[in-house]
Structure 1
Amino acid sequence: MLSNATLFLARRYLRARRSFVSVITIISILGVALGVLAMIVIGSVMKGFEGEFRKTLIGSEPHILLHPEGSKPVDVKATAGLLAKVRQQPEVLAACTYIRSVMFAEHGHGQSAMSVLGLPEDGAKFYMAKIARHKLEGSLDLVPGGLVCPDYLTAEINAHPGDTLSVYASSNVTSAVNRFHAASDEQDETKRHAAYKEIKLHPMDARLLGATKTESAGPSGYCSLETAQQIFGLGTQVNGVLIELKQPGEVKAVIKRFEEAGLVPAGWSHSLWTDEGEARLAAMGNERAMMNIVLLIIFVVAAFSVMNTTITVTTQKRREIGVLTALGSRQSQIVGIFVSQAAFVGIVGTLIGLVFSGLVLHFRNEIRMGIAVVNGGSTDVDSGMFLATIPAQIEPWFIVVTCLGSVILCLLAALPPAWLAARVDPAVALRD
């Protein structure tokens, strides 16, 4: 019965004298709702951006590259034993030899450079399958004598699938520059001119097979292992072994186990997919942590609005509190009245924030287009763009923690003024 009286008084204090719900209660509810809305929407979107960036790295970079220290080439036969051992590991999806180096490409009057990954026929099938979603035009089938290039390079040299490119290794350029300097130092004019004539880049022709999107697939090009060996003059040599994992997120644990098991040969080192974007991933994690701190501050501000409501009500109802105390109400019952009021504000505000956060996340791209229209921008979004839509990763546990945290903060915010109100001397309260 006493609990019913506590809830009755809590509902009564939420109402204004001339309206069903007081203005100050509405403001408190909206404050809590906005805090929940901001926490869920911003947290989900930032987690989505981090997830998309991670997917891009996993989907475009080799998971593990095993290679001799100093990137010295090795004979392809020397990798046969290592490949056999690696392919037997349960974490490994596929493995093959590879060549990775830098080359220059020319077409017409255009020239540009790119990193090239050369893969054998069996390795090209599974690796290019994961690059398929980044294809812009042409084909990704790595036939001998063909190249798949990033779109930044095709744009710089004005090339399209089917065009013939002149390609040569970056080492050819280095050698040509060294020979040019040597020729320039030659004192005899006849010998100098003869030396200049001997300087050649020795390009080879390669057909452009297709193009990938640089912004999502990265700046690397692809070709068959045979073509890479011809371009870089490696004969039957390769740079090492490429490994794709079933669970790329566990790459550090996997490589550690490989090293402990002695699978990585002595004098060899490794490169992981996380090496390319680890700094950026760490930065995004720090950004998300800082944003959570900012959102927590917003939550605290919303809790202060609940505290303000409780202080206002306890001040207005000071005489009634004195009467209740004089009639024998315990302090816990007085506190319960105002904590119940805060619970109502917290629960209703949290539910409103939860509903509107779901709507905002569902219509986030339409909202972006609306903002673009208001700001005079274009609503046309290229579907081929990386992150053409706003990503969002909704985690149930995060939503549950946010909602519980919101209600708990409201209850904690109401406790100090409620406790002070319950300690009022009834004689003083009735006299005021």
Structure 2
Amino acid sequence: MFKPLPLFIGFRYTRAKRRNHFISFISLTSMLGIALGVTALITVLSVMNGFEKELRERMLGMAAHVVVTTFDTGWSGWREWQDKLKTYPHVTGVAPFIQGQGMITYNRAVYGTYFQGIEPTLEAKISQVTNKMQEGSLDALKAGEFGVVIGRELQKSLQAKLGDKITLVVPETTVTPVGVLPRMKRLTVVGIFEVGMHEFDSAYLLMHVDDAAKLMRIPEGEVHGLNLKLDDIFLAKQVSYDIREQLPFGVSAYDWTYRHANFFKAIQMEKRVMFVILALIVAVAAFNIVSTLVMVVTDKQADIAILRTLGATPFNIMLIFIVQGTLIGIFGTLLGLAGGISLALNVETIVPFLERMFNVQFLPGDVYYISDLPSELQWFDVYRITIMSMLISLFATLYPAWRASRTQPAEALRYE
């Protein structure tokens, strides 16, 4: 069977027992270092992917994928467009909304809030709030009754219960005989939801769209816009662009990537920085390959000289040590892949087990948005980590292999 000489000798050097055990120890350390770096990279990036996915799902569980809204105070032609948008590709739900900001007061407590008027019968098609109800129901939002559904954290801050009356103050003024006063309205708590995100659970109110229109003094039959849900969130940018091209003057559309752009850009930046930092572990291990090969080259001076006298070219000598160093990198990378993939696929089981064993909680629910440790293994990350590790290992072999190819047979055999 044909075996190229550099490959055959490179394999032989890798398997052979060395007189210098320190070289073997450095080789093993290099291999384990690369494995550790690859394992850490795959695991950490998978956990960050899991966090990003979980946050995105929780955020979009309350926020629309695409929002069609008017620049004016109200939009009277929304019903016609509601029917049109239902027929657009990838659109699975359309619902009207009215939104505003204000302050909520109860028991001398005052909190800033963001309220949204919704159509309860349509809300389940564009958000997950129906499935996140802890107490009460969205069906309790009846037009004219001024009921309100609040987040769990806001409910705890207010210490309000179902049926309690809370006061909403909006930044609109009302002229009365005693002067100009802010507009206030007593609302009845008819439901409590919890989506697991502080942004929504602590400062978000839902009421019937007709009640919100009266509160904001929007003409009857008008709304601020339409919320759309898609079957694929990653098509939101293209869908919003297509819709925007068809909308009349004064009405525009934007998608969730525009509304939460800074948030997801920050996550992507953190992933890139983390990749670079953890890649340094692999780079440090690769420097050990340099040390290993330098010592092997010194130890094999006589063997190199003999091979040269038998007709081996400098390029053949260089390839021998490139093969040896690359094999260390390959074995270390494969070991790291096995460990990293195993950890990434089972981290959601391992972490709860460790928490029970040591009676600790790594991510307290009262501090972090997400109290568990999600993980999502993306094979693209595995591919690029593998290629990066292989290339670093290959580059680490070049200088020692080049030094070996420069060995002069006469000088190496002078004292043999």
C-alpha spacing 1:385/1:304, structure 2 compared with 1 (3 Å)? closer
* TM-score w.r.t. length of structure 1: 0.82
Give 2:210's aligned amino acid.
E
Q: Secondary structure at the match of 2:115?
A: strand
Q: What aligned pairs does 1:245-394 form with structure 2 within 5 A after superposition? A: 245-260=230-245, 262=246, 264-364=247-347, 366-367=350-351, 370=354, 377-378=360-361, 386-394=369-377
Q: What aligned pairs does 1:124-273 form with structure 2 within 5 A after superposition? A: 124-128=123-127, 130-144=128-142, 145=145, 146-160=147-161, 162-172=162-172, 174-175=173-174, 195=178, 201=183, 203-213=185-195, 215=197, 218=200, 219-236=203-220, 237-260=222-245, 262=246, 264-273=247-256
User: For the Cα contact (< 8 Å) 1:118–1:228, is it kept in 2?
Assistant: yes
Larger Rg: 1
**Structure 2: distance between partners of 1:31 and 1:200:** 66
CA shift at 1:238, angstroms? 1.7
User: For the Cα contact (< 8 Å) 2:37–2:336, is it kept in 1?
Assistant: yes
User: For the Cα contact (< 8 Å) 1:107–1:164, is it kept in 2?
Assistant: no
**Structure 2: distance between partners of 1:205 and 1:297:** 57
**Greater percentage in helix:** 1
Could you tell me which residue of structure 2 aligns to residue 114 of structure 1?
113
Q: Which region of structure 1 is more displaced relative to structure 2, 237-246 or 376-385?
A: 376-385
Q: What aligned pairs does 1:21-60 form with structure 2 within 5 A after superposition? A: 22-60=24-62
Give 2:185's aligned amino acid.
P
Give 1:101's aligned amino acid.
G
Could you tell me which residue of structure 1 aligns to residue 63 of structure 2?
61
Could you tell me which residue of structure 1 aligns to residue 18 of structure 2?
16
Give 1:227's aligned amino acid.
D
Which consecutive residues of structure 2, in runs of 5 or more, have no partner in the other structure?
none
Which consecutive residues of structure 1, in runs of 5 or more, have no partner in the other structure?
180-193
**Structure 1: distance between partners of 2:7 and 2:112:** 77
CA shift at 1:383, angstroms? 11
* TM-score w.r.t. length of structure 2: 0.85
User: For the Cα contact (< 8 Å) 1:103–1:116, is it kept in 2?
Assistant: yes
C-alpha spacing 1:392/1:327, structure 2 compared with 1 (3 Å)? same
C-alpha spacing 1:222/1:90, structure 2 compared with 1 (3 Å)? same
User: For the Cα contact (< 8 Å) 2:38–2:337, is it kept in 1?
Assistant: yes
**Structure 1: distance between partners of 2:226 and 2:310:** 84
CA shift at 1:18, angstroms? 7.1
C-alpha spacing 1:414/1:44, structure 2 compared with 1 (3 Å)? same
Q: Secondary structure at the match of 1:126?
A: coil
Post-superposition Cα deviations, 1:34-75, rounded to whole Å, max 9, x if no partner, equal 221122122222222222222222222122222221x41234
C-alpha spacing 1:107/1:93, structure 2 compared with 1 (3 Å)? same
**Structure 1: distance between partners of 2:124 and 2:62:** 14
Name the % identity. Answer: 23
Post-superposition Cα deviations, 1:361-390, rounded to whole Å, max 9, x if no partner, equal 34535458748987x954796599742221
Give 1:344's aligned amino acid.
L
Give 2:228's aligned amino acid.
I
Could you tell me which residue of structure 1 aligns to residue 8 of structure 2?
7
RMSD of the alignment, in Å? 3.2
CA shift at 1:147, angstroms? 1.6
Give 2:125's aligned amino acid.
F
CA shift at 1:249, angstroms? 2.0
Give 1:38's aligned amino acid.
A
**Structure 1: distance between partners of 2:278 and 2:52:** 18
User: For the Cα contact (< 8 Å) 2:132–2:194, is it kept in 1?
Assistant: yes
**Structure 1: distance between partners of 2:273 and 2:124:** 42
CA shift at 1:314, angstroms? 0.4
CA shift at 1:426, angstroms? 0.7
**Structure 2: distance between partners of 1:350 and 1:27:** 13
Q: Secondary structure at the match of 1:94?
A: strand
**Structure 2: distance between partners of 1:233 and 1:62:** 24
**Structure 1: distance between partners of 2:81 and 2:276:** 48
CA shift at 1:199, angstroms? 5.3
Q: Which region of structure 1 is more displaced relative to structure 2, 217-226 or 279-288?
A: 217-226
CA shift at 1:324, angstroms? 1.4
